[in-house]
A = this chain, B = another copy of it.
Amino acid sequence: MRPTVYDIAAAAGVSLATVDRVLNQRPGVRIVTREKVEAAIRDIGYVRDVAAANLAKGRVYPLVFILPTGDNSFMHGLYAEVRQAMTRSSLERTEIRIVQVPAFDPPALVAALDALHGQDVAGVALVATDAPEVRAAVDRLVDARIPVVTLVSDLTGSARHHYAGVDNIAAGRTAARLLGRFLGGRKGDITVLAGSMLVRDHRERLEGFAALMAAEFPQLRLLPVLEGRDDPEITSGLVSEALAGSNDIIGVYSLGAGNRGLIRALKATGQGRGLTVVVHELTEHTRAALQDGTIDAVLNQDAGHEVRSAVRVLKATADGQGFIAGQERIRLDIFVKDNLP
């Protein structure tokens, strides 16, 4: 049988009240007594029953998800997953609130973060925009003992407790490897399509991609990055133009959103050219394109996993608990035509 507070009391030769004072760091216990109790806790291997504790406390975890606006499929999916998590709120004792901020807007994000001070918040998840002032605002929250996890896009150098997202440099390298290998030694040009170089995850993907390309596939030349702003229309135009302007293009890497436009352009202009295409984010559009052969591989991060992981980590951190690292590492999923879920 698992030891309880009563067992601690007996083992330490003190009363239940004293054990409680030690466990919940309440004042009024001499150091010697406190140490005696702590020794007993270690000796008998007591672990607090979090379920019972939360029941007694009537604890709920008011969590805030700060998400950027955005009209692409990935953002829609992310919102949907957070809303899913909200429907599970009563079961998980969470109370999730979504705060929308304009995308790529550090001051707005800082304002949203700073507004949380003094509020009853057990944890914050945010899609970080990479800027020093955001870093500082995150650090202020951490200083105020509020658990913070970054979601999808990290904020290295900040004091955030955890990052629920993929390693984007590795993602870029992986994309390069797949594209390079799929092209099997052929020589030609690669078009790279990004949303915006203002977002850290896009920059990192490009960095990884370019580095590996240069190192291992010198026969492939990277064309200047096209910035589609994650918008299908802009993307479609850029790609059509590029394909029309050069017959040397043999591969495409799309590292952002707005793939609807890319696919449209590929079907219109790229048909029959034997292009090899690697994109990010599995959506209904990329899934269909993968199946009909327009796209060769999709790299994906599972927004559902990311959100659930963020919630678990925030709760655990709020309780001063650890978590299973392996379970919380977000995998980069690689999909080809054959392993679609």
Contacts and interface: CB of A to CB of B under 8 A. Distances in A.
A51 interface: yes
A339 interface: yes
Interface in A43-67: 47, 49-52, 54-55
Interface residues of A, number: 44
Interface of A: 2, 47, 49-52, 54-55, 90-91, 167, 170-171, 173-174, 176-178, 181-186, 208, 212, 296, 302, 304-305, 308, 324, 326-327, 329, 331-334, 336-339, 341
A178 B177 CA distance: 12
9 contacts: A170-B338, A176-B338, A177-B338, A178-B336, A181-B296, A184-B184, A184-B185, A331-B331, A334-B334
A167 to B, nearest CB: 8
Contacts of A302: 326
Contact of A181 (B171, B173, B181): B181
Given A173-B339, A334-B334, 17 more contacts: A47-B90, A47-B91, A49-B55, A51-B51, A51-B55, A52-B55, A167-B339, A173-B338, A174-B339, A176-B338, A177-B337, A178-B336, A181-B181, A182-B182, A184-B185, A305-B327, A334-B339
Nearest to A175: B338
A201 to B, nearest CB: 15
A165 to B, nearest CB: 14
